[in-house]
Amino acid sequence: MSKDYYKILGVDKNASQSDIKKAFSKLAHKYHPDKKGGNEEKFKEINEAYQVLKDKEKRQKYDQFGSDFSSGFSGAGANPFGGGFSWQDFSRQGFGGFNNSEAGFDFGDIGDIFGDFFGGSRRSSRQSHKGRDIQTEVDISFEESVFGTEKHLRLNKKIVCDKCNGKCGSNSQTCKKCNGSGRVTVQQQTFFGNFASVTICPDCDGTGNIFKDTCNKCGGAGSINGTEEIKVKIPAGISDGQTIRLSGKGESGSKGSVSGDLYIIIRVSKSSKFERKGDDIFSTIKLKYSQLIKGDKILVDTIDGEVKLKIPELTSSGKVFILKGKGVSKLNSRGRGDHHVKVILDVPKYLNKDQKKLIEELEKRGL
């Protein structure tokens, strides 16, 4: 049998996706089989309708063939698919849609819907006007990541209207429609009867107040497009890819509501001298054969500058020396990591006759 999914959800044929979702959540909540007064049959039907209408492509196909369905039942000739065709069959064959009648409900969706539903009923109007969170990236050098730095950012975003100071207007009066509560109860007629639901007052947009004189700069929104300079302290020891969150530095909310947050992703450029793993720094130094065999005193580049290092005699190529506390500041605790210096043999690219002779001498002496 063909079903009118719009009627089942109690929505208009031109209903928006959000209206469909709202209608579904209301009905699914009411008829959920686990609830008192629930109705599994109705719940299944509601879910079936929603599975089709929430999906743009399925909804389009349904709309396209929907009229044929209704006329089709009066005579086999009017139904392009012959008798007995139903949307369930069509969706199964056509585009791998729901399998509602056999497989039960799409619980994933129900969870999502109930989440919205309960969240929605608790959500205050201040939160619904909350400014958007924004995200930006900041490039810093290796040295800046090690020692910390301060950066000035210029962000294009919604800022508080400077004319009304985010108040949206002047001569505020209590909204007559909601008596200042910001919420109104609406009756909705659906296939299954009338439902009362509480929504944000459309007149005052949930603020409870109406301005006699609306601000002409922001049009009563309380926020405008603008730029803001933001100073951000980047702590010593930060790593590539880490994020700094600045609470309330996102876009301004409308209607005097709270601002969103700013998320700053840190990008650290590579160093030609050093590599970093956690709080430790690694570098490699090439030494001559004689330095490794006889030992030497050398200077090692660290993030603090040059540091003396004694190479003992008979040092193997590949040996690692640790310079304690010469690494990166620990981000969330005291102290610093270490610097690991690896010494390797600097094999010459070329030997002259003299050098070759000496090497042969060394070889004869067992070296």
Q: Which of 7, 13, 35, 163 binds Zn ion (CB under 5 A)?
A: 163
- Using CB under 5 A as the binding criterion, the count of chain residues that bind Zn ion stands at 12
Name the nearest CA neighbour of 163 among 222, 227, 85: 222
126 binds Zn ion (CB under 5 A): no
Min separation Cβ 154 and Zn ion, Å: 22
Helix then strand then coil, % of the chain, to nearest 5: 30, 30, 40
Q: Which parts of 208-267 interact with Zn ion (CB under 5 A)?
A: 215, 217-218
Which CB sits closer to Zn ion, 224 or 341? 224
- For residue 93, the minimal CB distance to Zn ion (Å) is 50
Cβ distance 317 to 289 under 8 Å? Answer: no
Q: Which is nearer to Zn ion, 49 or 215 (CB)?
A: 215
Q: Are 52 and 22 in contact (CB under 8 A)?
A: no
Please say which residue, 206 or 237, places its beta carbon nearer to Zn ion. Answer: 206
Strand partners, 214: 169
At residue 354, the 3 state secondary structure works out as: helix
Going by the DSSP 8-state scheme, the letter that residue 333 receives in this structure is S
Q: What is the largest CA-CA distance in the chain?
A: 110
Q: Check if the beta carbon of residue 47 is closer than 8 Å to that of residue 100.
A: yes
Binding to Zn ion by residue 159, rule CB under 5 A? no
Q: Is 204 in the site for Zn ion (CB under 5 A)?
A: yes
Closer by beta carbon to Zn ion, 217 or else 267: 217
Task: For residues 159 and 254, give the distance between their C-alpha atoms in angstroms, rounded to a whole number.
Answer: 9
Question: CB of 121 within 8 A of CB of 114?
Answer: no
Site for Zn ion in 164-183 (CB under 5 A): 164, 175, 177-178
Q: Which listed residue (203, 240, 280, 346) binds Zn ion by CB under 5 A? A: 203
Edge-first strand listing for the sheet containing 262-268: 134-140, 262-268, 243-246
161 binds Zn ion (CB under 5 A): yes
DSSP state letters, 122-140: H--HHHHTPPPPEEEEEEE
- CA end-to-end span of the chain: 95
Q: Return the range that interacts with Zn ion (CB under 5 A); candidates 85-93, 96-104, 199-207, 305-313.
A: 199-207
Q: Which stretch binds Zn ion (CB under 5 A): 10-18, 72-80, 158-166, 238-246?
A: 158-166
Q: Which of 98, 104, 135, 349 is nearest to 243 (CA)?
A: 135
CB of 172 to Zn ion, least distance (A): 12
Task: For Zn ion, give the closer residue by CB, 53 or 178.
Answer: 178
Shortest separation between residue 306's beta carbon and Zn ion, angstroms = 58
Tell me if 309 sits within 8 A of 297, measured CB to CB.
yes
Provide, rounded to whole angstroms, the least separation between the CB of residue 169 and Zn ion.
7
> Which residues from 54-73 bind Zn ion, rule CB under 5 A?
none
- CB nearer to Zn ion: give 159 or 328: 159
User: Closer to Zn ion at the Cβ: 113 or 164?
Assistant: 164
Q: Is 254 or 315 the residue whose CB approaches Zn ion more closely?
A: 254
Instruction: Using CB under 5 A, list all residues that contact Zn ion.
Output: 161, 163-164, 175, 177-178, 201, 203-204, 215, 217-218
